[in-house]
Structure 1
Amino acid sequence: MLLEYIKNYLLVILLSLIVSLILCSYSKYLRIFYYTTKLPGPTALPIIGNILMLVGNHEEITTIVLNKVQEYSPIFRAWLGPVPLIFTVKPEYIQEILNHGLEKAWIMKQAGYQLSGDSIMSSKVSKWKRNRRIVVRGFSPILLKSYFKVFVEKNVILIENLNKKLNDDKPFDIFEYISKTTMDAVCGSTLGYDVNAQNSNSSYYNAVQNLFFLMFERIFHPWKLPDIYYKFTEDGKQSEKSRDVILGLASKIITERRKIQYENAMQNHTLEIQDIKKNVFNKPLLDYLIDITENNQEFDNEQLRDEINIVILGGYETSANALSYVLLNLAAHKDIQERVCKELFEVLDGDLNRPIEIDDLPKLKYMDMVLKESMRLYSTVPIIAREITKDIQMGDFFIPKGSTCVIPILSLHRDHNLWKDPLKFDPERFTPENMKGRHPYAYIPFGGGPRNCIGIRYAWMFMKTLLATLLCRYEFHTDLNLNELKMQMEVSLKLVGGHQVRITSRIKN
């Protein structure tokens, strides 16, 4: 009798807790719903909301999103079924979001898990804070200098491959060449591993491109978001296969480097744990993280694999995309291309056969401006989303805790209210004089706030090294009309039809 009473009592408590959680969650949703309805935005249909905006291919959806942002700027709401999304391109609002919305939005986590796992790209704030402090030590100034020589080595292979296209009248997609170079450079520098992507038909490269596409295909078709359904779809099966290939490479690299680490450890004294955590011996990223897994139970092998995987993915794709747009812009604007080259020649003292050196890079001021302007006009990461972890007042609008806020960076960087003649390619926007008074969150190619990209200096150093190497040897040309380019949002901003260029030898005066 007593046991039965205790059993029923516990059951009542359990049911009460379940009901309380449901009511708590429901009341949270009602609060978000109430305040979101006060925002302007396109007319939404019952239940399905604004999902009809997502009918079409990636290019068509990208155009629709950009048009809606422009129509309802600076802030509006749209409904992904019953789920509200709040869009904004106002720098003051964006600053609040990125500094008080450190949690990545659920929709990006759900669609991007197979891409990023539980890495610092998508993990919860508590885990992100811990792991970011670890991973960032692999990008110290001393290590960046050691990575530079790998950049130069991989650029030599790129030149060898591009020479086959020299003086060819038929244009080619420069992204295919640069992306494989960046993959080689990232793996060779931070991981100490040669994937040889430039001289092989890499299944990894193809798997990554496929998974990037499928991630946004899932976001653009919300009915594919639930895992219980998605894993049985053709997209879900393709996504799983691509993930297996991608994680397979990360695991292979870790296994081989761990073996080398073990052999080296047998010849050296045991390292102090504090020395390992601080990376006082300035080991490359992977070697350092392997040490961490041996001495930190919270940073296990699965975590190591996820972090290494996202370093490869984030490092090679975004840099390659940014460089491809830069070269396309230089090909279309010959006067700017010549000005970049003039500065480069002056830094090299007129000796175009001299290899670029790391100390040359800070002197390339105009090249900095060109890179920044290209990344403004063609934002490498076109859109990001965050979950707000505290109530925020945005002008006349109140944004409650738990809301999903979307920042269309591509629209922000092309906003008429922030940029004069925003579709014009004009590096002069980034002279020190013209940057004065500009809101720091009007230009965020690497994100902003505490959860911005940890590889900014790495990417900048690599991009300038590769750009200088190419411009010493080639003049770039294109037949594309840059006013008629068609783009589509994925993890990075993809150009429909590719970055089609031609190359000729640069005249050496």
Structure 2
Amino acid sequence: MYESDLLLLIFLILLFAYLKSSFQSFIKYHQLFRKIKGPKTLPLGLIAYIFTANSEADRFQILQNLSKKYPNFYSLWFGSKYLFVTDDPNIAQKLLTYPQCVEKNFFMELFGFPNGLISLKSDRWKSERKLLNSSFSLPVLQSYIPIFDKSIRLGVKELQQKCDKGEFDIKHDVTFVVMNAVLNTTFGREISKDVIESIIKSTEKLLDIVWSRSMNPLLYYDSIYSLTSMKKQEDSHRRLIFKFIDEEWNELQNGSKSILESSFIHQLIKVSNDGRMYTKEEVNDHVGTMLVAAGDTTSTALNFLFLMLAMHENIQHRIVKEINEVFGELEDLIVDYEKLSELKYVEMVIKETLRLFSPATGIFREVKAEVDLGKIDSEIENLRLPQGTNLIINVFGLHRKKEIWGENAEAFNPENFLAEKMSERHNYCFLPFANGSRLCIGNRYAMIFMKLIVAHYVKNFHFSTSLKYEDVKVKAGITLGLIGDFSVAVTKRR
């Protein structure tokens, strides 16, 4: 009886703290909330609204419909958090370039890895980014091409076993190739298959847990979240990832392993030896961010890309033609950076995939000091967002905006990225890697890898599927998800 009474008391105390926080937020943002269009609900109102949805796809669509109902920008309550949401490229440019908006908001705190570049606080981010820029310089990325190439060739061998055997879910095959390459370039050596599989499993479970937590504002409070089984599971998956990183870091510092000098972890050691002594937690967060963020976002984009190729025979044919023009019709591909740079149509296909199925459906920031957005529509002469406002740039909505991409904005059409068409569009209409001062440091890494895997896979295989484009339904997560499987069939092209 005593234990149940104690738990009830703890719950009431936490509930009081939550309601107090909601009330204080409501008072602070009430005038702004009344001024800006959006669903006029009290705190917690949107949560009830979202969770009336029948499925994950419907839930995601509800959020996207808000952007259509309130075009360009709107505000709303999510739990006790006040959000300003936009899919307007002009507003997005201001939010991504103003120094008051460099800080990531509470959503990214839930992601964890607080010392990694994605989540790092703005007061430390600039100096840390400068230290790590060399880790993603062009010479370093060029040195990764043989590692990418080897990982992809192993993936080709695996897919050959599935030729002429009907449709299958390609997701794990692609994810394994990506994680193999990410681990090898991060640690500068080959990693065993068992380790790769365990890292994939832990990163996927970890991201699922973080997303589930982000959908329940009560769990934003560590005091409540720490009492849940989700917290125990999250800690377990993080420990597995960190244990592997710790072992590698310790062996490399002891000089007991020979690794590629351009590898990411070797760059951290070099920076550390030059006077910036990284703590164990900082190393774990930097490397963990690389494994979780780079691995998941790149594999997500590629899974959608191969599904799109399977649905669009004409596009697949044009890629084959370009590959043969650039590399010749030899059976094997001899790859270097210059030849990859010549794959212009492949790049257009990748960008069109990132437009319609950007792994990051939104960009999350927080206003650190009052910001003046000026006149952003005919009704609001001078919009000022106070300190603490949570900002969301709806990338998914921006990338499908008919005012930018035309009446067929929902269709898959790589010619959207012809140079002459893009020159007529806003510089901030395409944000798969964000933009401005916190542009993703790994954008060139991802593009090089994606070009290379497309070249190898399409050179070797013909992709097909019984799925129809109009039946593709997506769901939100830490990265964009597909409702159902990435079902494709492969046959040998030669």
Matching of residues 49-60 of structure 1 within 5 Å: 49-55=45-51, 58-60=56-58
Matching of residues 122-141 of structure 1 within 5 Å: 122-141=119-138
> Between Structure 1 and Structure 2, how many residues are aligned?
462
Instruction: Tell me, yes or no, if the aligned pair for 1:98 and 1:449 is still in contact at 8 Å.
Output: yes
Residue of structure 2 in register with 1:330 after alignment: 309
**AA aligned opposite 1:60:** D
1:32 shift after superposition = 3.5
Matching of residues 46-445 of structure 1 within 5 Å: 47-55=43-51, 58-100=56-98, 101-109=101-109, 111-113=110-112, 116-169=113-166, 171-197=167-193, 202-260=197-255, 283-296=262-275, 299-389=278-368, 390-394=370-374, 395=376, 396=380, 397-420=383-406, 421-445=408-432
For 2:397 and 2:366, locate their aligned partners in 1 and report how far apart those are by CA, in whole Å: 20
1:295 shift after superposition = 4.2
Instruction: Tell me, yes or no, if the aligned pair for 2:186 and 2:287 is still in contact at 8 Å.
Output: no
**AA aligned opposite 1:392:** D
For 2:188 and 2:326, locate their aligned partners in 1 and report how far apart those are by CA, in whole Å: 30
Between 1:384-393 and 1:281-290, the stretch displaced more is 281-290
1:453 shift after superposition = 0.4
1:94 shift after superposition = 0.5
1:28 shift after superposition = 8.6
Aligned-CA RMSD value: 2.3
Instruction: Tell me, yes or no, if the aligned pair for 1:33 and 1:84 is still in contact at 8 Å.
Output: no
Residue of structure 1 in register with 2:459 after alignment: 472
For 1:315 and 1:255, locate their aligned partners in 2 and report how far apart those are by CA, in whole Å: 23
Instruction: Tell me, yes or no, if the aligned pair for 2:47 and 2:79 is still in contact at 8 Å.
Output: yes
Instruction: Tell me, yes or no, if the aligned pair for 2:362 and 2:394 is still in contact at 8 Å.
Output: yes
For 2:350 and 2:60, locate their aligned partners in 1 and report how far apart those are by CA, in whole Å: 23
Residue of structure 2 in register with 1:35 after alignment: 32
Instruction: Tell me, yes or no, if the aligned pair for 2:25 and 2:80 is still in contact at 8 Å.
Output: no
- Cα distance 1:173–1:78, how it changes in 2: closer, same or farther (>3 A)? same
1:454-476 Cα distance to aligned partner (Å, 9 max, x none): 01111111110111011110000
1:199-222 Cα distance to aligned partner (Å, 9 max, x none): 777222111111111111111111
Matched position secondary structure for 2:437:
coil
1:157-188 Cα distance to aligned partner (Å, 9 max, x none): 1111111111112x112221111111111111
Instruction: Tell me, yes or no, if the aligned pair for 2:57 and 2:474 is still in contact at 8 Å.
Output: yes
1:253 shift after superposition = 2.2
**AA aligned opposite 1:429:** N
1:1-27 Cα distance to aligned partner (Å, 9 max, x none): xxxxxxxxxxxxxxxxxxxxxxxx999
- Cα distance 1:62–1:102, how it changes in 2: closer, same or farther (>3 A)? same
Q: Which runs of no fewer than 5 residues in structure 2 stay unpaired?
A: 1-21
- Cα distance 1:80–1:375, how it changes in 2: closer, same or farther (>3 A)? same
Instruction: Tell me, yes or no, if the aligned pair for 2:176 and 2:196 is still in contact at 8 Å.
Output: no
For 1:36 and 1:183, locate their aligned partners in 2 and report how far apart those are by CA, in whole Å: 43
1:97 shift after superposition = 0.8
Instruction: Tell me, yes or no, if the aligned pair for 1:290 and 1:304 is still in contact at 8 Å.
Output: no
1:212-245 Cα distance to aligned partner (Å, 9 max, x none): 1111111111111111111211222211111111
Residue of structure 1 in register with 2:3 after alignment: none
Match of 2:439 among 428, 433, 452: 452
Instruction: Tell me, yes or no, if the aligned pair for 2:83 and 2:392 is still in contact at 8 Å.
Output: yes
1:247-281 Cα distance to aligned partner (Å, 9 max, x none): 22222221232233x7889xxxxxxxxxxxxxxx9
For 1:38 and 1:298, locate their aligned partners in 2 and report how far apart those are by CA, in whole Å: 48
For 2:90 and 2:362, locate their aligned partners in 1 and report how far apart those are by CA, in whole Å: 17
1:413-457 Cα distance to aligned partner (Å, 9 max, x none): 011221111111111111111111210111111011111100111
For 1:404 and 1:200, locate their aligned partners in 2 and report how far apart those are by CA, in whole Å: 38
Instruction: Tell me, yes or no, if the aligned pair for 2:179 and 2:196 is still in contact at 8 Å.
Output: no
Instruction: Tell me, yes or no, if the aligned pair for 1:32 and 1:402 is still in contact at 8 Å.
Output: no
1:282 shift after superposition = 6.5
**AA aligned opposite 1:475:** H
Instruction: Tell me, yes or no, if the aligned pair for 2:326 and 2:339 is still in contact at 8 Å.
Output: yes
For 2:257 and 2:411, locate their aligned partners in 1 and report how far apart those are by CA, in whole Å: 56
The percentage of aligned residue pairs carrying the same residue is: 27
Q: Which runs of no fewer than 5 residues in structure 1 stay unpaired?
A: 1-24, 266-280
For 1:472 and 1:264, locate their aligned partners in 2 and report how far apart those are by CA, in whole Å: 34
Matched position secondary structure for 2:188:
coil
For 2:150 and 2:472, locate their aligned partners in 1 and report how far apart those are by CA, in whole Å: 33
Matched position secondary structure for 1:206:
helix
1:298 shift after superposition = 5.5
Matched position secondary structure for 2:301:
helix
**AA aligned opposite 1:106:** F
For 2:489 and 2:241, locate their aligned partners in 1 and report how far apart those are by CA, in whole Å: 32
Instruction: Tell me, yes or no, if the aligned pair for 1:138 and 1:190 is still in contact at 8 Å.
Output: no
1:87 shift after superposition = 0.7
For 1:212 and 1:107, locate their aligned partners in 2 and report how far apart those are by CA, in whole Å: 12
Instruction: Tell me, yes or no, if the aligned pair for 1:77 and 1:84 is still in contact at 8 Å.
Output: yes
Instruction: Tell me, yes or no, if the aligned pair for 1:150 and 1:189 is still in contact at 8 Å.
Output: yes
Between 1:248-257 and 1:71-80, the stretch displaced more is 248-257
**AA aligned opposite 2:314:** D
For 1:201 and 1:296, locate their aligned partners in 2 and report how far apart those are by CA, in whole Å: 32
Instruction: Tell me, yes or no, if the aligned pair for 1:137 and 1:285 is still in contact at 8 Å.
Output: no
For 2:242 and 2:34, locate their aligned partners in 1 and report how far apart those are by CA, in whole Å: 42
Matched position secondary structure for 2:135:
helix
For 1:93 and 1:365, locate their aligned partners in 2 and report how far apart those are by CA, in whole Å: 30
For 2:475 and 2:258, locate their aligned partners in 1 and report how far apart those are by CA, in whole Å: 47
- Cα distance 1:475–1:48, how it changes in 2: closer, same or farther (>3 A)? same
Residue of structure 2 in register with 1:273 after alignment: none
